[in-house]
Amino acid sequence: PDSNNLEDYITRSAQGPQIEKPKHIFLIVSESYANWPLLDKYKNLHIADGMRSVIEEQDTAYCPTFLPNGGSTVSAVTGIVTGLADANLYLTTMPESFGAPYPTSIAPQMKALGYDTTMWYAGPATWERIEPFVLAQGFDHFHGRGSMPQDATGSVWGVDDEYLYQAVLEGVDPAKDSFNVILNVSNHSPFNVDLSSKGFEPQKVIDGLPEEAKGDTELVNQLGHFWYADREMAKFIKTVKEKYPASLVLVVGDHAERYNIDKTPNIYERYGVPFIITGKGVTPNLMIPKAAGSQIDIAPTILEMIAPKGFKYMSIGSSLTRHNTMGVNYAVWFTRDYYGEADIYPLQPIPINANGGAEPMDELEMQIYCDTVRSISWWLPKYGNILDESLMEAKK
């Protein structure tokens, strides 16, 4: 369009539902749930067996080339809630974030489809102003630490994952269509979950470690917390499918970068998080073969899966079930075949598969995508939807 209204460029029309509209949607944003433990080379660690089993089911689709919005939990929250990429703005402190939802925000668009929207967080409502922020961005409800079982164990960050999932399962209203974002915290320092009482067998992990790491008790404890988060997530998904069979569950790590077996991991293993979709109507090939993306692509992926044909929505990202083949965040970019640093000009693509076989990529297209996503995500919160250079002068 020839317009100075940014919304004209980010308005999309849904192509029509790909699955039957789910009664309940659960989007799990899992603390430090990196993608590398799901790679075949690390399966002998047995810390991701729960989600491995989910991925193997015929009602599950999995994208292994997915990026977090940033290197912190708050970046994931802002990216998923607002649909805006990390553009070096701290959205939870900006007055503009509390005046009205951004046009790309997920909750109002899910509400337009008839969903009651809730954020479930294991920790305190005061963390990063999360409660007022998500409510200002259109969520109907917020439940934090105060809504969790009062006898729940946990850490300074919040309750152990099993109690968060218990609260969600008990709190969902079966009579209402619901969209639920669930943010857990257990896989985070101080790593004080009582793993032995949860059934963790450290020797299984130790047996899968390289010789130089077998005596690293701190690493084993950290990996045990990944095991716990993975197990509880898989248990929750199993229970949801039994209790609410007409449901959709999506899983994404909030970020990676916490710890790796490889002390010098490549960009793919260091930054990547999984994106998993499971539930009624989902098939392993729901996402396109070359799907890749980042957390700003979650909302359009959901909307393109369930919205009626012609439903209008706004998004900077796009659906992995339709045509999205690239993702970018504050530092790096991914495609299904390549990765690289986002701030190197020209881009320097590195093959994910060192054995070759990848098709050549369009480096200029990726460069334009990186610049565009960041530019729009910076302009919209600071200056609104009107494209007018004089607005920058007025705010100086």
Q: What are the tens digits of pLDDT across the range 96-112? A: 999 999 999 999 999 99
Please say if the pLDDT value at position 320 is more than 90: yes
Q: What are 11-23's pLDDT values in tens digits?
A: 999 999 999 999 9
Q: What is the pLDDT of residue 394?
A: 73
SS (H, E, C) the chain: CCCCECHHHHEEECCCCCCCCCCEEEEEEECCCCCHHHCHHHHHHCCCHHHHHHHHCCCEEEEEEEECCCCCHHHHHHHHHHCCCCCCCCHHHCCHHHHCCCCCCHHHHHHCCCCEEEEEECCCCCHHHHHHHHHHCCCCEEECHHHCCCCCCEECCEECHHHHHHHHHHHCCCCCCEEEEEECCCCCCCCCCCHHHHCCCHHHHHHHCCHHHCCCHHHHHHHHHHHHHHHHHHHHHHHHHHHCCCEEEEEEECCCCCCCCCCCCCHHHHHCEEEEEEECCCCCCCCCCCCEEEHHHHHHHHHHHHCCCCCEEECCCCCCCCCCECEECCCEEECCCEEEECCCCCCCCEECCCCCCCCCCCHHHHHHHHHHHHHHHHHHHHHCCECCCHHHHHCC
What is the mean pLDDT of the segment spanning 67-88?
A: 97
pLDDT at 257 over 90: no
pLDDT exceeds cutoff 90 at 27: yes
Task: Assess contact for 79 and 254: CB atoms under 8 A.
Answer: no
pLDDT tens, position by position, 266-311: 999 999 999 999 999 999 999 999 999 999 999 999 999 999 999 9
- How many Å apart are CA 26 and CA 182, to the nearest integer? 7
Residue 342 reports pLDDT greater than 70: yes
Among 284, 285, 287, which Cα is nearest to 302's?
287
Please give the CATH topology (third level) of the domain spanning 7-394.
Alkaline Phosphatase, subunit A (3.40.720)
Contacts of 347 (CB under 8 A, 6+ apart): 333, 340, 341, 363, 366, 367
pTM, rounded to two decimals: 0.97
Band the pLDDT of 260: cuts 50, 70, 90. Answer: confident
What amino acid is encoded at 70 in this protein? G
d(CA 286, CA 288): 7
pLDDT in tens, 111-141: 999 999 999 999 999 999 999 999 999 999 9
State how far the alpha carbon of 9 is from the alpha carbons of 177, 197, 308, 381, 385, in Å: 30, 53, 21, 16, 10
The residues with which 118 forms a beta bridge, in sequence order, are 141, 180
